C-alpha cells in the first residue's frame, strides 16, 4: 500500500508541478516521457503541427508541457516571444534540452552566455561578416553555383536537396577548415549526414535508433575535426596560413590569456558546418519547388535578374554587391520561403527567476519554447498564411531583421549571425538558376515534419540549359 501511495503521489506531483503562482494551462503528459511522443509525431502539412495547434485550441496561446523529461512553457504569442528575446541575459538565457546539448556539444555557442557568446560571435563575423561577404564570399558563392548547375545539367535528374547540401557543404568546409573531399581520405560530410538523420528524433541512445546514429555521426565528425586542428596547430608555425576559420582559431589559442579552448573551438566548428549547409539547402530546395509551382513568381524573378544582367557594361562579369542588394523581389521570395518552411520549429530559452506574464508564472529553471510556426502561419498576421505569396513582403522592414511577426532567423541578441550569408547564398544561386537554366520536376517534393522539415522522397528535377 505504501509503495502504491508513493507511486500515486509521484504521478500527482509530476502532473501538478509546484509553482509560486499560477502555471499556464496544459498537460505534463506521462511520467518521464511527458508529451515527447506527441511532439515528435510526423506531420505532412505546411500548417502548424497538430501538437501545437491542438493545444492552442484547448489552452490558448501559452501552455505548459513536458518534453524529454523537462518542464517547458510553449509560447505562440508574438508579444511574449518578443519579450523573451529582449530579456535575454536578464530574465532568460539561451537553453536547449539535455539531448540537444549531447548532440551539439556541452560548450557549443548556443549554450554560451554574456561575454563568451559575444566573443564567439565576433570570431564568426571575421569570416562571415559583411566585409568578407562583399570582398570574397559573393564571388566564391557564384562560382560554386555555376559549377554545380553545369555539372547537374549533365544528369538525367538530380535530387536537389542532396545536391545543394553538397554544394554548400563543400564551399563552407573549405572556408572554415580548408577541407576538400577530393583531397581527403575520409568523407566528413558522411558523418554529418548520419548526424542529421537523427538530429530531431526521439532521444533513445540504443544501437539501431536514429538518435544513436546521430551521436555516432557527431563522434566521428568531431574526431576528424580534432585531428585536422591538431595537425594544423603543429604545422602552423612553419607554413603559410590558409585564410580559413582555423587560422583565426589557432591565432586565438596562441594568445596568453585567451578564453578560447580547443573544445569550445571544435564545438563551434561543428555547429557552423551543420548550420551553414543543412538549413540553407532545405530552404533552397523549397524555394525552387515553390517557384516551379507558381509560374507568375518565377517570371517576375526571371525579369528581375535579366534586368540586372542587361544593365552591366560587361555581360560576362560576375554579381556585384550593389546588384545583390538590389534584388528586392528575390528577397521577397526568400522571406516567403523561410516563413513557410519553418525550418526551426522551436527556439528555446530558460527562465532565470520566477516571471509573471499575462497572469501566469513561468517558474525559475523552466524551459520556454518560442514557436515560430505559430506566428508565421497566424491568419491575423498573414492573410491566407498557407499560400505562397512573395508579394506580401513588398516594402516590408522585416526583410532586414527579426520582428514580432517574423523570426525565421531568431530574434534579440541571438539573431542569427549567418543570416546575411544564408540570404546571399540563396539569392546568388537563384540568380544563376533562372538566368541560364529551366527545370522540370521528375518526382518527390513532399515534405514531412518530425518536427524538423524533411523531404522523405527527395525533390528530383531535370535541369536544361536555356537557349
Per-residue pLDDT tens digits for 87-142: 988 999 988 777 677 777 766 666 667 777 788 888 888 888 899 999 999 999 99
Residue 107 is predicted with a pLDDT of 67
Tell me: pLDDT of 5 over 70. Answer: no
In angstroms, the CA 420 to CA 399 distance is: 11
Share of the chain above pLDDT 90, in %: 51
Tell me: pLDDT of 6 over 60. Answer: yes
Chain CA centroid to CA 378, Å? 21
Q: How many residues does the chain have?
A: 467
Helix (H) or strand (E) holding 133: none
Nearest to 427 by CA among 301, 272, 273, 274: 301
Q: In the predicted model, what is the mean pLDDT of the chain?
A: 87
In angstroms, the CA 440 to CA 255 distance is: 54
Determine how β-strand 453-454 pairs with β-strand 367-370: unpaired
In angstroms, the CA 67 to CA 43 distance is: 18
C-alpha cell at position 230: 591538431
3-state secondary structure of 413: helix
In angstroms, the CA 78 to CA 75 distance is: 8
Per-residue pLDDT tens digits for 56-88: 999 999 999 999 889 999 999 999 999 999 998
Chain CA centroid to CA 379, Å? 24
In angstroms, the CA 389 to CA 409 distance is: 19
pTM score of the predicted model: 0.91
Tell me: pLDDT of 331 over 80. Answer: yes
In angstroms, the CA 193 to CA 202 distance is: 17
Is 424:399 a contact under the CB 8 Å cutoff?
no
Nearest to 437 by CA among 163, 181, 135: 163
Residue 182 is predicted with a pLDDT of 65
Report the 10 Å Cβ neighbour count for 122. Answer: 12
Is 53:47 a contact under the CB 8 Å cutoff?
yes
Tell me: pLDDT of 240 over 60. Answer: no
The secondary structure of 302-347, three-state, reads HHHHHHHHHCCCCCCCCCCHHHHHCCHHHHHHHHHHHHHHCCCCCE
Alpha helices, DSSP H only, in 410-450? 419-436
Binding-site residue set for heme: 416
Per-residue pLDDT tens digits for 152-189: 999 999 999 999 999 999 999 888 888 876 666 467 77
Determine how β-strand 158-159 pairs with β-strand 459-465: antiparallel
Compute the average pLDDT of residues 363-388: 96
Longest CA–CA separation in the chain, Å: 88
Tell me: pLDDT of 238 over 60. Answer: no
In angstroms, the CA 31 to CA 279 distance is: 33
Binding-site residue set: 416
Tell me: pLDDT of 379 over 80. Answer: yes
Compute the average pLDDT of residues 207-217: 80
Domains of the chain with CATH codes: 107-332+415-467 (1.10.630.10)
In angstroms, the CA 181 to CA 168 distance is: 13
What backbone torsions phi and psi does residue 358 show, to the nearest 5 degrees? 50, 35
Highest mean pLDDT among 169-173, 203-207, 305-309: 305-309
In angstroms, the CA 393 to CA 359 distance is: 35
Report which DSSP code applies to 279.
H
C-alpha cell at position 329: 523581389
Rg, the chain, Cα only: 23
Amino acid at each position: 500500500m505504501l509503495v502504491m501511495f508513493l507511486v500515486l503521489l509521484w504521478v500527482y506531483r509530476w502532473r501538478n508541478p509546484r509553482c509560486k503562482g499560477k502555471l499556464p494551462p496544459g498537460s505534463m503528459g506521462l511520467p518521464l516521457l511527458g508529451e515527447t511522443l506527441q511532439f515528435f509525431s510526423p506531420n505532412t502539412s505546411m500548417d502548424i503541427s497538430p501538437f501545437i495547434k491542438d493545444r492552442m485550441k484547448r489552452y490558448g496561446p501559452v501552455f505548459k508541457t513536458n518534453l524529454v523529461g523537462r518542464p517547458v512553457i510553449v509560447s505562440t504569442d508574438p508579444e511574449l516571444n518578443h519579450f523573451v528575446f529582449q530579456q535575454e541575459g536578464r530574465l532568460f538565457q539561451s537553453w536547449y534540452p539535455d539531448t540537444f546539448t549531447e548532440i551539439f556539444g556541452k560548450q557549443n555557442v548556443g549554450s554560451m552566455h554574456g561575454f563568451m557568446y559575444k566573443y564567439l560571435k565576433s570570431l564568426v563575423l571575421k569570416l562571415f561578416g559583411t566585409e568578407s561577404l562583399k570582398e570574397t564570399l559573393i564571388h566564391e558563392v557564384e562560382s560554386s553555383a555555376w559549377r554545380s548547375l553545369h555539372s547537374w545539367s549533365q544528369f538525367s535528374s538530380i535530387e536537389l536537396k542532396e545536391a545543394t547540401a553538397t554544394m554548400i557543404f563543400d564551399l563552407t568546409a573549405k572556408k572554415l577548415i580548408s577541407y576538400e573531399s577530393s583531397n581527403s581520405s575520409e568523407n566528413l560530410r558522411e558523418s554529418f549526414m548520419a548526424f542529421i538523420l537523427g538530429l530531431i528524433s526521439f532521444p533513445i541512445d540504443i544501437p539501431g535508433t536514429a538518435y544513436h546514429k546521430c551521436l555516432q555521426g557527431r563522434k566521428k565528425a568531431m574526431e576528424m575535426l580534432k585531428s585536422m586542428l591538431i595537425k594544423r596547430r603543429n604545422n602552423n608555425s612553419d607554413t603559410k596560413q590558409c585564410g580559413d576559420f582555423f587560422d583565426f582559431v589557432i591565432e586565438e589559442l596562441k594568445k596568453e590569456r585567451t578564453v578560447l579552448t580547443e573544445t569550445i573551438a571544435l564545438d563551434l566548428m561543428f555547429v557552423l558546418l551543420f548550420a551553414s549547409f543543412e538549413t540553407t539547402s532545405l530552404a533552397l530546395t523549397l524555394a525552387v519547388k515553390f517557384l516551379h509551382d507558381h509560374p507568375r513568381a518565377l517570371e517576375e524573378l526571371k525579369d528581375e535578374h535579366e534586368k540586372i544582367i542587361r544593365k552591366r557594361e560587361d555581360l560576362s562579369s560576375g554579381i556585384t554587391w550593389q546588384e545583390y542588394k538590389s534584388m528586392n523581389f528575390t528577397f521577397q521570395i526568400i522571406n516567403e520561403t523561410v516563413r513557410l518552411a519553418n525550418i526551426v520549429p522551436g527556439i528555446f530559452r530558460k527562465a532565470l527567476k520566477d516571471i509573471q506574464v499575462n497572469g501566469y508564472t513561468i517558474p525559475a529553471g523552466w524551459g520556454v519554447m518560442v514557436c515560430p510556426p505559430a506566428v508565421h502561419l497566424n491568419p491575423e498576421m498573414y492573410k491566407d498564411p498557407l499560400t505562397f505569396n512573395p508579394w506580401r513582403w513588398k516594402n516590408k522592414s522585416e526583410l532586414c531583421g527579426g520582428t514580432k511577426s517574423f523570426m525565421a532567423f531568431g530574434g534579440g541578441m541571438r539573431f542569427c549571425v549567418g543570416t546575411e550569408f544564408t540570404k546571399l547564398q540563396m539569392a546568388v544561386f537563384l540568380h544563376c538558376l533562372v538566368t541560364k537554366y529551366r527545370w522540370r520536376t521528375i518526382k518527390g517534393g513532399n515534405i514531412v515534419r518530425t518536427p524538423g522539415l524533411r523531404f522523405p522522397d527527395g525533390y528530383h528535377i531535370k535541369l536544361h540549359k536555356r537557349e
